[in-house]
Structure 1
Amino acid sequence: MDLIGRPTTIELSEDAIAQVTRGREFVEGVLRRNGRPVYGATTGFGPLVVFGGRDSATEQCDNVLQHLTVGQGADLPIPIARASILVRARSLAHGLSGASLSTVDALCRMLSTGFAPVIPIWGSVGASGDLVPLAHAVQSLRGVGHAYVDGERMPARDALGVAGLTPLELDGRDALALVNGTSVTTAAAGLAALSARRSLQVATALTAVLADLLGATPAFVAPSLLKAFGHPDVATTGQELAWWLEGTTPSPDRPLQEPYSVRCTPQLLGAARSAIGWSIETVSHDLRGVSDNPLFFEDEDLVAHGGNFFGQPSAFASDLLSSAVTQVGNLAERQIDMLVDPGRNGGRPPMLASEPGRQHSIQGLQVMSTSLVAAMRRACTPAAMQSLPTNLHNQDVVPFGTQAAVTAYEQAQKLRLLHGALGVALRQAAHLDNRGSTASRCTDLVAALSERIDPIIHDRPLDEDIRIAADVLDRQVETKPWSYR
């Protein structure tokens, strides 16, 4: 995922070059035939399809881009902006959209530099693809509007020069092929899904460390118990928790049954694993597909006008991601709450403070975590069923997949910070622990956190520590011996 934010070499295979070339030649042949209408090439756009378009291909390009350059709000994160170009290039490389080889090559060249288009966050309903955000992306590549180079925002024409790129030249078919797809939705959903999958591994590891530091009995991960529940992903999550907890020594002071934020974690995280797995599968289908209209099939002499730009699959997948990620965030916040409570944290002082009253340790950290969870809950309202008719009722039902996907991405970023906060809290709990960690893998994870984060002996700012802990946790789980589907 980090590769998306920096220059990356993307090459077209010989097959892709042949497919794109063949598709373009077919489109040009179709357009030379008198009387055969092709949406967006010979017609107006949207409900204005009943009217003719402009006379020249260059004017038709302006016809589609100019009226769609209306986006508002903050810029999309650079990883989403660059991933959107990558997804668009992949879709066009199938050769079914009629885009020119020079256009697909230009997208690949952009990705090999530090260039990123400025794309406003608001403007897409995700129905005819991501028309407005992709129009802004294309305008950036033409030198219109703004762009980033290596993270620095500047006028797009200046950015192209700094990156060593030339302004993109398009005709009407190229322009429509670039904007008439779900690439922003798919990119945001894909990045959200990858982050959620990694955070689920982090949640499993942190839960095991918590159970180990508390001295909880590992009976809640007993294979027979979890197999009886009937959900395979729950049993698998239990196996991973047991892997982390191998060698743990229960404390005689702990209750027979732990609170649900320990005891029910196989069930909660296992269900999240199932939800995230389905979302990843759905987004993977989008990544392999072609989201455009019309599509051109030379073997059938067919110009197919349809709705492959309708982003409903990723809308559902993104809403489910938001729900799953928020519940995993709820778990992290409750686990922090357990650690600050001397009645439940294994006899440690309140707020994990070395001198309660004189020092306050993670008191502010917990308040921040509560704020994050509240923000996640507020953002969890599904977008995929918020359909509102627009565009002279041409788009009379819409999926709002772009909003769903961007929200899922933002939710995943908040979860990373919650886990960073929990990581700092666990590191402090280990510092105040007289008995020490007993499971070797949990001990190793605490040691990795301790290497970067000092114990809280005297109160200090923890904002940077939280972000550092999130980075440490990401790296620690990336090499572990399992994979999430």
Structure 2
Amino acid sequence: MSPLVLTGAGVSIEDVVAAARNACKVEVTPTVIERLAKAREVLDEAAASGQQIYGLNTGLGANLVTAVESDASAFQRQLLDGRAAAVGEALPIEKVRAAMFARIAMLSAGGSGLSPHVFTALVDALNAGVHPVMPSLGSIGAGDLVLMTAIAHTLIGEGDADYQSRRMPSAKALMMARLPPVSLAPKDGLSLINASAVSTGAGALALVDALSALDQQQQAGALTMEAFGANRTILDPRLHLARPAACQQVAAKALRDLLARENEPEPATIQDPLSIRCMPSIHGALIQAIDHARLAVEIELNAAADNPLVLVDDALVLSTGNFHTASLALAFETLGLAIAQCAAACAARFIQLTGSGRNGLPKYLSPIGGASAGFVPLQKTVTAILASIRHKANPVMLDFLPVSEGVEDHATQTPLAVAKCAEMIALWRRLIALELMAAAQAVDLREGLRLAPATGVIHAAVRTHVATLKEDRPLGSNAAALHAALADGTWQA
């Protein structure tokens, strides 16, 4: 696998996945190191001139007015120790790697004033697989600094790290990886932690998962249309040109491609239920929300979001609010609502397929009838999953309190907005699995139905994981197996 070469621009959400999940090596160009060195020079000159610089020769937060009169380098260690306040379960390794890579990408853009040797140490730790043990609770989205202290502590040989699937003291992990602990110059500690890298990295992972789930949802929707005998005129491109809203043309084209064949079947009805008829609108809105969230994440990945910020060309060091991620939080709140809407339509189609039989299919999709339960018990499962999704769709970005004596009186709750969105994607994928199961069963129960080439492949993919229901059997384990295939990349359709 080719390494990821960072230049200070052009980093994508796919790059985060490559580094976080595929352990792709990271390299940086000499230009990045030169940019860091110049920023460090400007920072040191400003400090030598007597300028008050937040986090270098002043305290943080409410201690802003307190001058740091002792060793400024020692203060960086004190700064880290004083903010190592995160609690809770440790984040998964992929999210820690995503945060490390996101911070590296942000630092590559320049402006932090971080010492080049500390930057190189962070890259080396990621490439060597030295992963700080990072508790999950503590950030309110005004930068993720309470969580990010775990990364800084590991680089100086403090705290715990995961190395070669074993938890151990960071000093031991660095020694085993043949990496020396780093020493921190003034502001280095703050430069490592004062960023929204945890939120940004996790957001990138969630977006790639959302794109994957969206493709699978389109497949499930197309198979449902086949099974339902749906009226395909809803996909006519002229209809979507007449109202070119929110990417619905893109969604309609994807469904048309999945259903394409030489001889189109005659419509069985004039109009189908809204969960079918409005799929292009519903999926289009989700596509637009994903695109907007991608833009928000990739702005963060390629931006200098430090406070204070070093403006090399102007030889200035200025305080900023660039670490504040209101737009990122809003993008993921919006994405969560779009996912919930899509999931609700998916659940509605499942109910339509597995209901009374008014659609011409056997009641409950049971081939034997009588007292057979068929698929109808799964309606409860679908309802429970949808309820959980709807609960998580409630916004959280306004849930904060003033802290640090009122100096930090606004927050974004971006980590929570991203985390609950990722949980919604996982639950939504369970609904997709259930829709695929029901649609495949309905296809098998329609005598003489000929599928389009693409939907035929989708049906066959379902059948590699779940057999046709011929008599009542436990369907929960079948749903779990199909969901696992959708989630772990083994789904082939």
TM-score, structure 2 as length reference: 0.88
Bigger shift: residues 353-362 or 392-401:
353-362
Matched AA of 2:438: A
From 163, 171, 174, the equivalent of 2:185 is 171
- Cα pair 1:202 1:474 within 8 Å, conserved: no
**Alpha-carbon deviation of 1:180?**
0.6
**Alpha-carbon deviation of 1:169?**
3.5
Runs of 4+ residues deviating >6 angstroms:
none
CA distance in 2, matches of 1:17, 1:36: 25
CA distance in 2, matches of 1:143, 1:330: 48
Q: Where does structure 2 lack aligned partners over 5 or more consecutive residues?
A: 1-13
**Alpha-carbon deviation of 1:468?**
3.1
- 1:92 aligns to what SS in structure 2? helix
Q: Where does structure 1 lack aligned partners over 5 or more consecutive residues?
A: 478-485
> Alpha-carbon deviations, 1:455-484, whole Å to 9, x = none?
34462422541333414888557xxxxxxx
Match of 2:407 in 1: 394
Match of 1:20 in 2: 36
Q: Aligned pair count?
A: 473
Is 1:266 the counterpart of 2:280? The answer is yes
- 1:121 aligns to what SS in structure 2? strand
Is 1:184 the counterpart of 2:198? The answer is yes
CA distance in 2, matches of 1:104, 1:438: 55
Is 1:383 the counterpart of 2:396? The answer is yes
Aligned pair in 2 of structure 1 residues 162, 418: CA closer, same or farther (>3 Å)? farther
Aligned pair in 2 of structure 1 residues 407, 468: CA closer, same or farther (>3 Å)? closer
Match of 2:321 in 1: 307
Is 1:284 the counterpart of 2:298? The answer is yes
CA distance in 1, matches of 2:374, 2:84: 49
CA distance in 1, matches of 2:157, 2:374: 51
Bigger shift: residues 455-464 or 288-297:
455-464
From 343, 353, 374, the equivalent of 1:339 is 353
TM-score, structure 1 as length reference: 0.89
Match of 2:11 in 1: none
CA distance in 2, matches of 1:357, 1:116: 57
Match of 1:214 in 2: 228
Match of 2:482 in 1: 466
**Alpha-carbon deviation of 1:59?**
1.8
CA distance in 1, matches of 2:369, 2:79: 64
- 2:301 aligns to what SS in structure 1? helix
Match of 2:4 in 1: none
Q: How does 1:81-480 map to 2 (within 5 A)?
A: 81-127=96-142, 129-149=143-163, 152-161=166-175, 163-231=177-245, 233-247=247-261, 249-250=264-265, 254-344=268-358, 346-350=360-364, 352-355=365-368, 360=373, 362-363=375-376, 365-457=378-470, 459-460=473-474, 461-462=477-478, 464-471=480-487, 476=492
**Alpha-carbon deviation of 1:85?**
0.8
From 39, 51, 58, the equivalent of 1:36 is 51
**Alpha-carbon deviation of 1:304?**
0.9
Aligned pair in 2 of structure 1 residues 356, 276: CA closer, same or farther (>3 Å)? same
CA distance in 2, matches of 1:195, 1:110: 26
**Alpha-carbon deviation of 1:258?**
0.8
CA distance in 2, matches of 1:137, 1:12: 19
> Alpha-carbon deviations, 1:318-377, whole Å to 9, x = none?
111111111111122222222221425541341x34545776554554433322221111
> Alpha-carbon deviations, 1:362-393, whole Å to 9, x = none?
45544333222211111112222334211111
Matched AA of 1:367: K
> Alpha-carbon deviations, 1:158-190, whole Å to 9, x = none?
544555544443334111001111111211222
CA distance in 2, matches of 1:369, 1:143: 48
Bigger shift: residues 443-452 or 453-462:
453-462
CA distance in 2, matches of 1:368, 1:313: 35
CA distance in 2, matches of 1:154, 1:331: 47
- 2:459 aligns to what SS in structure 1? helix
- 2:408 aligns to what SS in structure 1? coil
- Root mean square deviation, CA, Å: 2.6
Identity %: 27
